[in-house]
Amino acid sequence: MGIRPGVKITKLSSHFWRGPVTVLVGKAKIAVGHGVAHKILVEVSE
Amino acid sequence: MNLKEKEILLIGNPNVGKSVIFSRLTGARVTASNYPGTTVGFTQGALKLKEGEMAMVIDVPGVYNLEPISKADEVAVDMLQKGDMVINIVDATNLERNLFLTLELRERGVPMVVALNMWDETRHKGIEIDINKLEKELGVPVVPTCGLTGEGIKELVERLREAEDLDFKPLSREHKWEEVGKLVDLSQKLHHHHHTLLERLEDISTRPSTGLPIAALVVYASFSVIRFIGESLISFVFDPFFERIWLPLMMRLGSLLGGGGILHDILIGKLIDGKIVFIESFGILTTGLYVPFAAVLPYILSFYLVLGILEDLGYLPRLATQVDNLMHKLGLHGYAIVPMILGLGCNVPGAMALRLMEGRREKFIAATLMATAVPCMAQIAMIVGLVGKRGGGYVALIFGVLIGILVIKGLLLNIFMRGRSPEILWEIPPYRLPQPKAVLKKLWMRITGFLKEAVPYVLLGVLVVNVLYIFRVFNFLAQIFSPVLSGLWGLPENTISAMLIGFLRKDVAVGMLGPLGLTTKQLVVACTVLAIYFPCMATFVVLVRELGVRDMVKSAFLMIFTAVIVGTIMNLIL
């Protein structure tokens, strides 16, 4: 769904108790389960 | 290419507006909403070409790529094998993600035209796309469109014949993304733009600290509005019509028929204290018309109006995100809220939306929970009408018990079924202001659907009830089922009639409890059991198709089991 190496993603919010995380990829907002979100490794840009 | 009698597929990512474009091309009425997964099966319609020739257009469920994950994805990929041509619908505000599918489609060699949909939104979002450059780079015709207003549809149809067989060599996944990056860099420019009010609303309804209270508020407000509109329609429009206009007519017809006898009983029903009582008489022309039109239709109308607005606004995926945590405890994930909410209108579309669930386990859990604990609006309307007369608290009690069943059964299924609920991964669309015309069109479709599908069954149900009474079939069955009915649930034997008709229509079944002279406790138990013991026939057929015979048998066993247990407990406690 557009989350792939080299792409800038922004975390918008996260739910408590290991709930879903919403991220912004390009112009799309995507809700991601905690477990999947855990596997997304990011490099902090600034 | 000559388009006569060709099959044209509409393919694109979820929620890019394929169904809206489909309606524009064919004039066919299909449900379109602002959330991914509205279309779960395929719909086809005819497109009139200039010279009186026809082509077939097929609306395909949305996919992100051509590697299927869910059943809805499989439908799409299967369709691609037999189509002659593809219109790839692309969300212009989200070019980068959408173009991956475009490149995959291009490799398949099928003639293709790209429709850059939601073109109007790019301007608000500060996105500028150079169509000519994109078209040149992609090597296929590219047409900007706006499904909602119909802009660009004519050009899209005209340019269909420019599409030709394609010959592109397959690229690896990485190379495809590289290519997408190049295409986007070449053809798209982003400008800074200020946050709009809708975007600010998006933010606060996504963040949990504000999103959860907002979700609670939206759900509460929705039900209040549904109730207000439904009740107003009944007391100011439908009841007056039936009481003042229809009642005198029926009384006259009744006396013409001699005030009694088989024909009188079937058409007008039994007189109560010498008068027709619409909800109790049970004639085809009295109760048979009163139930669908005066008791149920007002609530169906108000429910689908509110649902349509929420759908088109794009609220459902946000609600799904807010309740994801909770739903995980029940063995589901947040998106299972979509079939549940659709099921509140009618369990049939709810059951069809089960295709959104990826695995067999969640599909089973979602189906079982919906069929047991989510009553349809027709049933709700009848319960409110009948039980409400004894006190609003009893209505609340029934729904409280149903919610309790939903939670407890979900928790238990999650513990005892092997496997675990999958993680969520879905797109949250931007808020879009619902277009009154689109909302009304969808409402009209759903209302006519209800009238066409429900009214004949209600009339049939009332007829069957009368015939069975005449042949005294109920008396015979009442004796067989008496141990459960009277022994465990504390209900009189004659409630068997309602339990049987419940297989046909739940609203008629609830209505049948009216004339039986039940105590309030018996009425509450009977309504609750009717809601949970088994789905109606129409839902059952769809569930068998979605779950398969084996899972359906298991699920049905669980429903009957729950009904026996819950009915007994309520009988003992109340």
What's residue B376's pLDDT?
95
Q: What is the pLDDT of residue A14?
A: 82
What confidence score (pLDDT) does residue B29 get?
76
Average pLDDT over residues B412-422: 88
Report chain B residues whose CB lies below 8 A from the CB of A29.
Answer: 202, 206, 427-430
Per-residue pLDDT for B116 more than 70? yes
- Tell me the shortest Cα–Cα distance from A45 to chain B, in angstroms: 20
Helix (H, G, I), strand (E, B) or coil at B47: strand
pLDDT confidence bin for B349, thresholds 50/70/90: very high
Q: Are residues B403 and B374 in the same domain?
A: yes
User: Nearest-CA residue of chain A relative to B121?
Assistant: A27
| pLDDT bracket for residue B422 (50, 70, 90) | confident
Instruction: Over range B266-274, report the average pLDDT.
Output: 89
Measured CA angle at B167 (ends B165, B170), to 5 deg: 135
Closest chain B residue by Cα to residue A4: B177
Q: Are strands A28-32 and A9-14 parallel, antiparallel or unpaired?
A: unpaired
* B155 and B234 assigned to the same domain: no
User: Which residues in chain B (13-72) have CB-CB distances under 8 A to chain A?
Assistant: 64
Shortest distance between the Cα of B62 and any Cα of chain A, in A, equals 12
Whether pLDDT at B496 is above 70: yes
Last residue of a domain, one of B190, B219, B240: B190
Residue with tokens 């029926």: B250
Q: Would you say residue B199 lies in a domain?
A: no
Cβ-nearest to A30 among B202, B324, B428: B428
For the ranges B148-157, B397-406, B473-482, B533-542, the one whose mean pLDDT is highest:
B397-406
Give A3 to chain B, closest Cα distance, Å: 9
Same domain, B105 and B17: yes
Residue B490 lies in a domain: yes
B430 token code pair: 């931007």
Please indicate, yes or no, if residue B97 is contained in any of the structural domains.
yes
Average pLDDT over residues B89-99: 91
Whole-number pLDDT of residue B259: 81
Q: Return the CATH number at B168.
A: 3.40.50.300
Between B18 and A14, the more confident residue is: B18
Three-class SS state of B188: strand
* A19 and chain B in contact, CB less than 8 A: yes
| Rg from Cα positions in chain A | 10
DSSP β-ladder status, B54-59 and B43-48: antiparallel
pLDDT band of residue B527 (cuts 50, 70, 90) is very high
Q: Which residue of B has its CA nearest to A13?
A: B207
Out of B242-251, B415-424, B478-487, which region has the weakest mean confidence (pLDDT)? B415-424
B359 touches A: beta carbon within 8 Å:
no
Once rounded to an integer, what is the mean pLDDT over residues B241-254?
Answer: 94
* Closest chain B residue by Cα to residue A36: B423
What pLDDT is attached to residue A46? 61
Beta carbons within 10 angstroms of residue B98's beta carbon? 25
**Looking at the structure, do residues B168 and B252 belong to the same domain, yes or no?**
no
A-chain residues within 8 Å CB-CB of B320? 31
Question: What span, in angstroms and rounded, lies between the C-alpha atoms of B223 and B298?
Answer: 14
For residues B5-29, give the mean pLDDT: 89
Same domain, B220 and B185: no
Please tell me whether residue A12 adopts helix, strand or coil conformation: strand
Q: Which residues of B225-254 are buried (b: 16+ CB within 10 A; e: fewer)?
A: ebeebbeebbeeebbeebeeebbeebbebb
Q: Which residues of B touch A31 (CB under 8 A)?
A: 317, 320-321, 324, 334, 424-428
Do B206 and A13 make contact, defined as CB atoms within 8 angstroms? yes
Examine residue B88 and state whether it is found in any structural domain, yes or no. yes
CB contact B205 to A (< 8 Å): no
B258, B271 Cβ separation under 8 angstroms: no
Residue B365 has pLDDT above 70, yes or no: yes
Mean of all residue pLDDT scores within chain B: 90
DSSP state of B423: P
Q: Is residue B202 part of a domain?
A: no
Q: Are residues B178 and B213 in the same domain?
A: no
| Residue B356 pLDDT > 90 | no
Confidence of residue B104 (pLDDT cuts 50, 70, 90): very high
Domain A1-46 adopts which CATH fold?
SH3 type barrels. (2.30.30)
Structural tokens at position B321: 């995100």
Residue B1, pLDDT > 70, answer no
Any residues with CB less than 8 A from the CB of A31 and at least 6 apart, and which?
A20, A21, A22, B317, B320, B321, B324, B334, B424, B425, B426, B427, B428
State the average pLDDT over residues B250-256.
93
Choose the final residue of a domain: B190, B221, B237. B190
Q: Is the pLDDT of residue B112 over 90?
A: yes
CB contact (8 A) between residue A12 and residue B203: yes
Do residue B222 and residue B156 come from a single domain? no
- In angstroms, the CA B391 to CA B395 distance is 7
Per-residue pLDDT, averaged over B448-453, amounts to 90
A5's CB contacts (< 8 A; 6+ apart) are: none
Question: Residue A23: which region, alpha, beta or left (left: phi > 0; alpha: psi -120 to 50)?
Answer: beta
Query: Looking at the structure, do residues B122 and B230 belong to the same domain, yes or no?
Result: no
What is the pTM assigned to this prediction? Answer: 0.88
**Residue range B320-341: mean pLDDT, rounded:** 92
**Residue B334: closest C-alpha in chain A:** A20
Q: Residue A5 pLDDT > 90, yes or no?
A: no
- The better pLDDT of the pair B465, B196 is held by B465
Helix, strand and coil percent figures for chain A, each rounded to 5: 10, 35, 55
Confidence bin at B572 (pLDDT 50/70/90): very high
Nearest to B97 among A1, A19, A36 (CB): A1
Domain stops at, among B155, B190, B225: B190
pLDDT at res. B389: 92
Q: Based on the fold, state whether residues B186 and B271 are members of the same structural domain.
A: no
Span B511-530, average pLDDT: 94
Structure tokens at B505: 């229509």
Mean pLDDT of B208-226: 94
Instruction: Using the predicted structure, report yes or no on whether residue A4 has a pLDDT greater than 80.
Output: no
B324–chain A Cβ distance below 8 A for any pair: yes
Which residue range forms the structural domain that includes residue B53?
7-190
Domain count of the fold of chain B: 2
Cβ contacts of A11 on chain B, cutoff 8 Å: none
Of B127, B207, B425, the CB nearest to A1: B425
- Asked if the model's pLDDT at residue A1 lies above 90, the reply is no
Contact A27 B94 (CB under 8 A): yes
Answer yes or no: do B164 and B215 share one domain: no
Asked if pLDDT for residue B138 goes beyond 80, the answer is yes
Q: Are residues B214 and B184 in the same domain?
A: no
Q: Is residue B163 part of a domain?
A: yes
State the complex-level ipTM.
0.86
What is d(CA B62, CA B73) in angstroms, rounded to the nearest whole number?
7
Tokens of B152: 């660009």
Please compute the mean of the pLDDT values over residues B443-449 and round it to a whole number. 93
Average pLDDT of the segment spanning B115-138: 91
Q: Is the pLDDT of residue B44 over 90?
A: no
Contact A26 B96 (CB under 8 A): yes
B321 contact A CB<8A? yes
pLDDT of residue B386: 93
The band of B355, judged by pLDDT with boundaries at 50, 70 and 90, is confident
- Does one domain contain both B265 and B179? no
Identify the band that residue B33 occupies on the pLDDT scale cut at 50, 70 and 90: confident
Mutate to test the interface with A, among B16, B96, B97 (most CBs of A within 10 A): B97
Check if B127 contacts A (Cβ < 8 Å).
yes
